[in-house]
Amino acid sequence: MDQLVQHLKVLGFTEMESKMLIVLAEQGAMSGYEVAKRLGVSRSNVYAALQKLVDHGFVLLSKGEPTLYKVLPIEELTRMIMDQLQNSIRHVEQMMPKQTNDVTEFFSLENEKKVFERVRQELNRAKQEIIVDVWAEEAQLFREELEQAEKRGVKVFWSVVGSVEEHRLRRMQLQIHSGQQDIEELERQRSGRKFSIVIDRKWSMLGMRGEGLPTKALVTEHPAMLELLLNHFAQELVLFELEAEMGPELREKFGASFERIYRKYFQSGYQG
């Protein structure tokens, strides 16, 4: 009964009203005295609550000696509740003061469940393009939603760091170069695994999880963040194409996977 009571409360009934509806559904027509005895509460409280249910049409009243109360058949009860909820929702949509859509706001999400629920919601809303830059550990978490998006005709682009071959993700599988991978591994040990998602070039999430740290993410439609994430992804594309076309020449001049360049600018900044 407790779980059913909680769902009825979500629909707007009080705990007392919820329990009375359940008792009447179980037992059929009952007097107010019988309902009060069954619930172990005062008759005055029961009669007041029963009258409220009668006024709203959820309970039928049969006057006599004694007066009997009977709940509507479940199909009629749920249909009436649904109609009232839809009317209320329409009223709220029409009458609620309109809010300005400030795309420059930044929202912080904490808790892995909240972060991933938001990601899945946005992936399911995507209409044109999804760009995902993740570690292989996170790539599998959204695979189903991304495959569904592809079936809807959405372009899906991947940049996956880590064990790409193990997961064999379809579409674009970009390897981060070994020089940068050393730096990324240091960051990963210190601050978790970073991931970013851009949807339809107007919604973005930049987050971090793993390595014993709580999952956190920043959500925004701010154009500066969108440009930053898109540029980062574009740079990975350029590096991927350059190495594919000019790998031997680049390795000869700059070292394996541009390691000399990365060490020149970054290695001195990391201790131990």
Which pLDDT does position 205 carry in this prediction? 95
CA-CA distance, 181 to 268, in Å (whole number)?
15
Which pLDDT does position 91 carry in this prediction? 92
Q: Domains in the chain and their CATH numbers?
A: 2-95 (1.10.10.10), 106-269 (3.30.870.10)
* Strands 155-161, 129-135: pairing kind: parallel
Which pLDDT does position 98 carry in this prediction? 78
Which pLDDT does position 105 carry in this prediction? 85
Using a CB cutoff of 8 Å and minimum separation of 24, what contacts does 246-250 make?
Answer: none
Give the distance, in angstroms, between the CA of residue 158 and the centroid of all CA atoms in the same chain.
20
Which pLDDT does position 64 carry in this prediction? 83
Which pLDDT does position 271 carry in this prediction? 44
Find the largest Cα–Cα distance for the chain: 101
Other C-beta atoms closer than 10 Å to the C-beta of 86 total: 10
Which pLDDT does position 259 carry in this prediction? 67
> 267: Cβ–Cβ under 8 A, 6 or more apart, which residues?
183
Which pLDDT does position 178 carry in this prediction? 38
Q: How many residues does the chain have?
A: 272
Overall pTM surpassing 0.85 (yes/no): no
pLDDT per residue rounded down to tens, the chain (272 residues): 789 999 999 999 999 999 999 999 999 999 999 999 999 998 888 999 999 999 999 999 988 888 999 999 999 999 999 999 999 999 998 888 876 666 678 999 998 999 999 999 999 999 999 999 888 888 888 889 999 999 999 999 887 766 434 333 333 333 333 344 444 554 444 457 889 999 999 999 999 887 778 899 999 999 999 999 999 888 888 877 877 788 788 777 777 656 677 667 665 544 44
Which pLDDT does position 269 carry in this prediction? 47
